[in-house]
Amino acid sequence: MPQLDDLYKEVILDHYRRPRRRGTIDVPPATHARGYNPLCGDEIDMYVSVGDSGEIDAIAFEGKGCAISQASASMLTERVQGGTVADFGDAFDRFKAMLGLGDDDGPAFSTDEELGRQLGDAEALQAVREFPSRIKCATLAWNTLDQALAGRESFEET
């Protein structure tokens, strides 16, 4: 049976109550996307600004919602700040696999230690996998960042 203690770990509540990188960044130079979970009303506004060589120079978010969605946003921003867009793509794949959403989430599953390196604090969201109705809460910020970054590409193309 899934355990609530695993879902509401201290590190998750800490990010929920003291979100890192909460705020906004001017658009442009940043791009922005809004993610919304119509089921429960969770909202995330993601702002990201990317340098010429694809590094994430600045990232911030605002939002309202449950502990899982808001902690996930905070953990995500902390994890990707200073990394590259490609780096985020890898982490996102890993994150989805951890939640059972990847194409192959089978035997090659990382150890906690490895996961921690790949995902930072977001590794603590592992147990969400056992609560299917909450997976969308965990992925909301990640999908929203993905959109904000896609917005950057189309922005650059035009």
Partner 1 sequence: MSDLASIREIDAFAESLRKDFPILHRTVHDRPLVYLDSAASSQRPEAVIEAMDTYYRTYHSNIHRGAHTLGEEATAAYDGARTKIARFVNSPTPEQIVFTKNVTEALNLVAHSWGRANLGEGDRILLSTMEHHANIVPWFMVAEMTGATVEWVPISDDGVLDLDALARMLRGASVLACTAVSNVVGTLNPIADICAMARGEGVVSVVDAAQYTPHQVTDVVAIGADFLGFTGHKALGPTGVGVLWGRSDLLDSMPPFLGGGEMIEHVDYDGFSTAPVPAKFEAGTMPIAEVIGLGVAVDYLADVGMDRVRDHDVAILRYALAALTDAFGAKIRILGPLDPEQRSGLVSFELGDVHPHDISTILDQEGVAIRAGHHCAKPLHARFGVTASARASFQFYNTTAEVDQLVHALDIALELFGL
Q: How far apart are CA 153 and CA 86, in angstroms?
A: 13
39 binds partner 1 (CB under 8 A): yes
7 binds partner 1 (CB under 8 A): yes
146 binds partner 1 (CB under 8 A): no
Single out the segment in contact with partner 1 by CB under 8 A; choices: 20-28, 46-54, 88-96, 132-140.
132-140
CA triple 151-154-157, angle to 5 deg? 150
Q: How far apart are CA 115 and CA 122, in angstroms?
A: 9
34 binds partner 1 (CB under 8 A): no
Cis-peptide, bond into residue 2, ω within 30° of zero: no
11 binds partner 1 (CB under 8 A): no
Single out the segment in contact with partner 1 by CB under 8 A; choices: 19-27, 38-46, 75-83, 148-156.
38-46
Nearer to partner 1, 96 or 134 (CB): 134
Q: Which of residues 47-106 bind partner 1 (CB under 8 A)?
A: 64-68
H helix or E strand, kind and range, residue 136: helix 135-157
What is the token pair recorded at 86? 């490609």
Of the candidate residues 75, 134, 140, 144, the single one contacting partner 1 (CB under 8 A): 134
Strands (E), the chain: 31-37, 42-50, 56-64
Nearer to partner 1, 27 or 66 (CB): 66
| Residues in Cβ contact with 8 at an 8 Å cutoff, skipping those fewer than 6 apart | 67
Residues that bind partner 1 (CB under 8 A): 1-2, 4-5, 7-8, 13, 17, 39-43, 64-68, 131, 133-134, 137
